[in-house]
Amino acid sequence: MMTSKARVRTAFARQKPDRVPIYYYGNPGIDARLKEHFGLKIDDDEGLRRVLGADFRGVSAPYTGPRLHKEIPGRAVDPQWGFVTRRVEHKSGIYWDFCDFPLRDADIETIARWPMPSPDDFDYSGIAKSCQEMQAYGIHIGGSGLGNIMNRAGYLRGMEQVFVDLALGEPAGLLLFDRMLAINLEITRRELAAAKGGGDFIWMGEDLGTQDGPLISMETFRKYIKPRHKPFFDLARECDLAVMMHTCGASSWAYDDYITMGLTAVDTLQPEAKDMSPDYLKKRFGNRLAFCGCISTAGPVAYGTVEETISYCRRTLEIMMPGGGYIFAPTHCLQDNTPTENAVAMYETAHTYGVY
C-alpha cells in the first residue's frame, strides 16, 4: 500500500497508484452531518478526512497582523481585505453572499490606498513542523483561491466592473489585480521557503467559464490573465513543485496555454459544462494533465439515490482511471443539499472501485 504522498505524486505524474487519490471538501451542513454519521465531534476535521481516506493536506501561514477593515452591522467584513458578505438562508442551509462591493466605483488613487495585508504580518514559523507532521500526505501550499484574479477582484469591485476593467484595460482595476497578486505571491514564496521542501504542489485557481463557454475571450485571457499567473508557475518551477489549478465552468479552452507554463493538474471539472465531460477531458488532455474532480455536485450525488450515486461514480472512475492521473473529488465542494447517505456512498465507491 502506498502512502498518500506517494499516491498523489504518482497521480500527478499520470501514472497508476495503488488506488485513486481522494480529496474531500464539503459545505458546513453536509460536513456536520458526515461527522455526526461517523461519530465525530463537529470540529474534528482531521478525523473526517481520515475516515473518508482523503490523501491531501494543506499548510499555510496564519495572519497575525491587525484588523484592517472595520466591522459593519448586519454584514461580515473580511478583516484583511475588506470583502463584504451578507448571510442568505435557504432551505438547505446558509450561504454568505458577496455584496456592497466597496471598490466598485473606486479610482486608481483609492485602490492604491486600500488597506491590504503585509506579507510580514503572517506567522511562517509553524509550517516546517506541520509538513513534518503531515509528511505521509500530499501537501499543498495555497488553495483554490491563490492567484485568482477575476473572482477576488470581484469581491471588492463587483463582477460587472471587473469585466469592464478587462474589456477596457481600466487602470484602477488592473492596479487592484496587481496589488492583490503581489501580496499573494510573496506570501506563497515565504511559505515555500518555510516548508523547507515539505510541500508537494502549489494549488491556485481562476474561474474561467460559464456552463456554456468562456467568461472572457482568448485575447483578453492572454493579455491580462496569463501573464499575471506566470510568476506563480515560475515560482513552482524554481521549487520543483507541481501546480494544480482550480477552474470552474467551461475552462478547458485555456488548458493548452497553461500546459505551456507548466500546469500539472486541473481541479473541479464540472462535467455538465461545455467541453468538460470526463470523456472529453481524458481524450483531449489525458496524456498531458492529471485530473481532480468530475464528480458532479449537481447530479446523482445531490439528487439521486444511493444506487444511482454508486453507478455514477463507478462510471466516472471507469473513464478517468485508465493510465493513471485521476484524483477522485467532488466538483468544487459537496453542497448542503447532498443526502448524507449519498456522500458516504460516494467515498465508499472510490475505495471499492478505485483500486488499480
Please give the pLDDT value at position 151: 95
Question: Residue for cell digits 456522500?
Answer: 343
Grid cell for residue 256: 493548452
Looking at residue 190, the DSSP 8-state letter turns out to be H
Strand ranges (E), the chain: 56-59, 76-77, 84-90, 93-98, 138-142, 201-205, 242-247, 265-268, 290-295, 326-330
Q: Mind listing the pLDDT tens digit of every residue in the chain (356 residues)? A: 899 999 999 999 999 999 999 999 999 999 999 999 999 999 999 999 999 999 999 999 999 999 999 999 999 999 999 999 999 988 888 889 999 999 999 999 999 999 999 999 999 999 999 999 999 999 999 999 999 999 999 999 999 999 999 999 999 999 999 999 999 999 999 999 999 999 999 999 999 999 999 999 999 999 999 999 999 999 999 999 999 999 999 999 999 999 999 999 999 999 999 999 999 999 999 999 999 999 999 999 999 999 999 999 999 999 999 999 999 999 989 999 999 999 999 999 999 999 99
* Contact yes or no for 266/245 (Cβ under 8 A): yes
User: Given this model, what pLDDT does residue 345 score?
Assistant: 98
Q: pTM for the complete prediction? A: 0.96
C-alpha to C-alpha distance for 188 and 182, rounded to whole angstroms: 10
Angle, vertex CA 80, rays to CA 249 and CA 245, nearest 5: 25
Q: Which residues contact 44 (CB under 8 A, 6 or more apart)?
A: 35
- Give SS3 for 21: coil
Number of continuous H segments (helices) and E segments (strands) in the chain = 15, 10
Domains of the chain plus CATH, in order, are: 4-66+106-353 (3.20.20.210)
Give the three cell numbers for residue 66. Answer: 491587525
Residue 154 is classified by DSSP as H
Q: What is the pLDDT of residue 95?
A: 86
Grid coordinates given for 345: 456512498
Nearest one of 256, 259, 254, 303 to 274, comparing CA atoms: 254
pLDDT of amino acid 92? 80
∠ at Cα 347 (346, 349), nearest 5°?
70
pLDDT given at position 90 = 83
| Alpha-carbon torsion (182, 289, 330, 160), positive or negative | positive
